Structure 1
Amino acid sequence: MEYRKLGDSDLEISAITFGAWAAGGWMWGSTDRNDAIEAIKASYDVGVTAIDTAPIYGQGTSEEIVGEAIKGISRDKVQLLTKFGMRWDLAEGNLAMHSKNNAGEAIDIYKFAGKDSIIYECEQSLRRLGTDYIDLYQIHWPDTTTAISETFEAVGRLIEQGKVRYAGVCNYSASQMEEAEKTLKLVSNQVPFSMVNRGIEEETVSYCVVNNKSILAYSPLQRGLLTGKITTDYQFQPGDHRANLPHFQPEFIAKTNDLLAKIKPIADEHHATLAQLVLRWTIERAGITVALAGARNADQAVQNAQAIAIHLSQEEIDTINEFVSNF
Structure 2
Amino acid sequence: MTNSTTMDRVQLGVTGPLVGRIGLGGMSMSGAYGASDEAQSIATVHAALDSGATLIDTGDFYGFGHNEMLLGRALSDRPREDYLLSVKFGGLRGPDNSWGGFDGRPAAVRNFLGYSLQRLGVDYIDVYRPARLDPNVPIEETIGAIAEMVEAGYVRYIGLSEVGAETIRRAATIHPIADLQIEYSLISRGIEREILPTTRELGIGITAYGVLSRGLLSDSLRTRPDFDPGDFRAHSPRFQGDNLTSNLRLVEALAAIAETRGATVAQLAIAWVLSRGADIVPIIGARTPQRWSESAAALDIRLTEDEIAEIEAAVPAEQVAGERYATAQMAMLDSER
The residue aligned with 2:153 is 162
Which amino acid in the other structure matches residue 293 of structure 2?
A: V
- Corresponding residue for residue 8 of structure 1: 14
Contact conserved, 1:232 with 1:250, CA < 8 A, in 2?
no
| 1:174–1:207 CA contact under 8 A, matched in 2 | yes
Q: 1:219 to 1:126 in 2, by over 3 A?
A: same
| 1:284 match | 275
Q: What TM-score comes out, normalization by structure 2 length? A: 0.87
Secondary structure of 1:4's aligned partner: strand
Give CA deviations for 1:54-99 in whole Å, capped at 9, x if unaligned: 10000111111111111222111111111111133xxxxxxxxxx6
1:187-239 CA-partner distances (Å, limit 9, x unpaired) = 11111112111111111011111111111111111111111321474200121
CA change 1:235–1:179 in 2 (3 A) is: same
After superposition, residues 66-105 of structure 1 pair within 5 angstroms as 66-88=71-93, 105=96
Contact 2:26 2:285 in 1 (8 A): yes
Q: Which residue of 2 aligns with 1:35?
A: 40
Q: How is 1:289-304 mapped onto 2 (pairs within 5 angstroms)?
A: 289-304=280-295
Where 1:261 maps in the other structure, the secondary structure is helix
Q: Is the alpha carbon distance of 1:196 and 1:107 closer, same or farther for their aligned partners in structure 2, counting shifts above 3 Å? A: closer
Q: Distance in 2 between matches of 1:31 and 1:109?
A: 25
Tell me which residue corresponds to 1:22: 28
After superposition, residues 1-327 of structure 1 pair within 5 angstroms as 1-25=7-31, 27-88=32-93, 105-231=96-222, 233-286=224-277, 289-325=280-316, 327=319
Q: CA deviation at 1:287?
A: 7.6
Confirm or deny: 8 A CA contact 2:11 2:279 kept in the other structure.
no
Amino acid at match of 2:39: N
Q: What is the DSSP-based 3-state SS (H/G/I as helix, E as strand, rest coil) of the residue aligned with 1:62?
A: helix
Q: CA deviation at 1:286?
A: 4.8
Q: 1:321 to 1:108 in 2, by over 3 A?
A: closer
Aligned residue for 1:30, secondary structure, equals coil
Give the distance between the partners of 1:42 and 1:106, measured in 2 at CA: 31
Unaligned runs of at least 5 residues, structure 2: 1-6, 320-337
Instruction: Give the TM-score taking structure 1 as reference length.
Output: 0.90
Identity over aligned pairs, percent: 31
Q: Is the 8 A contact 2:61 2:92 kept in 1?
A: yes
Whether contact under 8 Å (1:81, 1:136) holds in the other structure is yes
Equivalenced residue count is: 312
Change (3 A) 1:255 1:228: farther
Distance in 1 separating the partners of 2:224 and 2:144: 49
CA distance in 2, matches of 1:280, 1:81: 22
**Separation in 1, partners of 2:133, 2:297:** 34
Note the aligned Cα RMSD (angstroms): 1.9
